[in-house]
């Protein structure tokens, strides 16, 4: 089992260090970890946010564990040299079209959410975001100068039906696996079919596909309404499936239902369950190097990796249980701290999870 470790920028290295600590504590046989730079770190080392050597390592590995990319100090670089471009390229190069972003509220954190506990308690939803298409990658794109001297910016929202169908399948399959005691599996497809043709096609393809999944109840929601419903009554959802840009926005929103974006792991999978695993949050350069970030999203991403790529459900559950235990023992990083708990540093939270493994 080969694992590429790409810590990246900002808090990336410190949170990844905790995840690696937990992984080492599991003492999994034949696991080879190799580290490489990406994002701003790739630019510093090789003048490229996705150096060839890093891409090659990622291609040769079974899975990739990524911290985060980005720092304000790179904002002035040409667009193709910026850290975010490294992240978008590795997603595209590895064909990681299915992004799984679970939003699960740990009962211990019900008080840390900005929403009322009764609105969020018991929340367990999965956002499935298409990750290699849409306005993120569509051509034409760019900023150009018109004949009258005025500048114009262009991006293009586009999806073809095979791209929609393959992400739809992931959503339906996951909904069936998640089905709990006697309840019907549910998928809510999020679009803007009243305005955008791209997503009108999205809706049509989802409806066609649903004929193959009679066990799953498919519903549709416009993205503006979905944003509102997520705050109003988030527990109505089980699996949400949507395109790249809507998924980017809705998954940040959903993360706050769980108390902190510092809690949310993610998996980005190709058609063969090879995957890249990363926290849903960003590089938080403002708190980088202070050892105060929350490493749980990254540690939980390792659990997703063991489950989805390495088929190691036992160790995945062991990690998730250890994270829960660390929380129930009162350990909290600053972002999820509430009165009466023990405020710990990033590395101490890592230690607490390792201790709870046993
Ligand atoms: C995410 C991030 C990225 C995205 C950025 C860093 C390019 O916001 O993973 O959600 O927009 O996909
Ligand atoms: Mg985002």
Does residue 169 share a domain with residue 287?
no
Is position 54 within any domain? Answer: yes
Of 258, 281, 303, the position where a domain reaches its end is: 258
Assign 251 a pLDDT band (cuts: 50, 70, 90).
very high
Catalytic residue list contains 248 = yes
Catalytic residue list contains 252 = yes
**Rounded to two decimals, what is the model's pTM?**
0.93
Separation of CA 252 and ligand 2 centre (Å): 6
Does residue 202 share a domain with residue 231?
yes
Catalytic residue list contains 59 = no
Distance of CA 55 to the CA centre of its chain: 20
State pLDDT tens for residues 268-279: 999 999 999 999
Of these residues, 74, 191, 192, 274, which one is catalytic? 192
3-state secondary structure labels for all residues of the chain: CEEEEEEECCCHHHHHHHHHHHHHHHCCCCCEEEECCCCHHHHHHHCCCCCHHHHHHHHHCCEEEEEECCCHHHCCCCHHHCHHHHHHHHHHHCCCCEEEEEEECCHHHHHHCCCCHHHHCCCEEEEEEECCCHHHCCCCCEEEECCCCCEEEECCCCCCHHHHHHHHHHHHHHHHHHCCCCCCEEEEEEECCCCCHHHHHHHHHHHHHHCCCCCEEEEEEEHHHHHHHHHHCHHHCCEEEECHHHHHHHHHHHHHHCCCHHHCEEEEECCCCCEEEEECCCCCHHHCCCCCCCCHHHHHHHHHHHHHCCCCHHHHHHHHHHHHHHHHCCEECHHHCCCCCEECCHHHHHHHHHHHHC
Is position 106 within any domain? Answer: no
State pLDDT tens for residues 30-78: 999 999 999 999 999 999 999 999 999 999 999 999 999 999 999 999 9
Catalytic residue list contains 192 = yes
| CA nearest ligand 1 atom 9, residue | 280
State pLDDT tens for residues 136-148: 999 999 999 999 9
Q: Hey, what are 328's tokens?
A: 């129930």
Of 258, 290, 319, the position where a domain reaches its end is: 258
| CA nearest ligand 1 atom 8, residue | 248
Q: Hey, what are 262's tokens?
A: 């510092």
Q: Is the dihedral of CA 165, 168, 173, 174 positive or negative?
A: positive
Q: Is the CB of 190 under 6 A from ligand 1?
A: no
Best residue among 49, 86, 87 to mutate for probing ligand 1, ranked by most atoms within 8 Å of CB: 87
Does residue 125 share a domain with residue 76?
no
Name the closest ligand to CA 129. Answer: 1
Separation of CA 71 and ligand 2 centre (Å): 15
Which pLDDT score, from 0 to 100, does residue 262 have?
87
Does residue 231 share a domain with residue 134?
yes
Separation of CA 255 and ligand 2 centre (Å): 11
Looking at the 3D structure of the chain, how many domains does it have?
2
Does residue 248 share a domain with residue 123?
yes
Please check the confidence at residue 150 and state whether its pLDDT lies above 80.
Answer: yes
Separation of CA 143 and ligand 2 centre (Å): 22
Of these residues, 74, 106, 136, 159, which one is catalytic? 136
Of these residues, 248, 291, 335, 351, which one is catalytic? 248
| CA nearest ligand 1 atom 7, residue | 84
Which pLDDT score, from 0 to 100, does residue 201 have?
98
Does residue 150 share a domain with residue 83?
no
Owning domain of residue 84: 1-99+266-358
Question: Looking at residue 158, which CATH number applies to its domain?
Answer: 3.40.718.10
């Amino acid at each position: 089992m080969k694992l590429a470790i790409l810590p990246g920028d900002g808090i990336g290295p410190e949170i990844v260090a905790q995840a690696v600590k937990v992984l080492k504590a599991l003492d999994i046989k034949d696991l080879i970890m190799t580290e490489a730079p990406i994002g701003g770190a790739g630019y510093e080392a090789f003048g490229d946010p996705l150096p060839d050597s890093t891409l090659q390592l990622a291609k040769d590995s079974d899975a990739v564990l990524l911290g985060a990319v980005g720092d304000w100090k790179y904002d002035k670089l040409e667009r193709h040299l910026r850290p975010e471009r490294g992240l978008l390229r590795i997603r595209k190069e590895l064909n990681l079209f299915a992004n799984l972003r679970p939003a699960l509220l740990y009962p211990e954190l019900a008080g840390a959410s900005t929403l009322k506990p009764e609105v969020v308690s018991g929340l367990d939803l999965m956002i499935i975001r298409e990750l290699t298409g849409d306005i993120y990658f569509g051509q034409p794109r760019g900023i150009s100068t018109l004949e009258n001297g005025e500048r114009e910016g262009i991006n293009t929202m586009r999806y073809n039906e095979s791209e929609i169908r393959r992400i739809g399948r992931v959503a339906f399959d996951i909904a069936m696996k998640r089905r709990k005691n006697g309840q019907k599996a549910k998928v809510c497809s999020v679009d803007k079919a009243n305005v955008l043709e791209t997503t009108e096609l999205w809706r049509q393809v989802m409806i066609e596909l649903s004929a193959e999944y009679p066990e799953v109840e498919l519903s549709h929601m416009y993205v503006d309404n979905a944003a509102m419903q997520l705050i109003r009554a988030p527990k109505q959802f089980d699996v949400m499936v949507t395109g790249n840009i809507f998924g980017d926005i809705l998954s940040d929103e959903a993360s706050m239902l769980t108390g902190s974006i510092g809690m949310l792991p993610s998996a980005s999978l190709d058609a063969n369950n090879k995957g890249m695993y990363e926290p849903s949050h960003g590089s938080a350069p403002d708190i980088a190097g202070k050892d105060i970030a929350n490493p749980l999203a990254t540690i939980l991403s390792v659990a997703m990796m063991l489950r989805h790529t390495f088929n190691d459900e036992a160790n995945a559950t062991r990690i998730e249980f250890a994270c829960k235990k660390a929380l129930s023992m009162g350990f909290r990083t600053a972002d999820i701290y509430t009165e009466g708990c023990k405020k710990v540093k990033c590395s101490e939270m890592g230690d607490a999870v390792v201790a709870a493994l046993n």
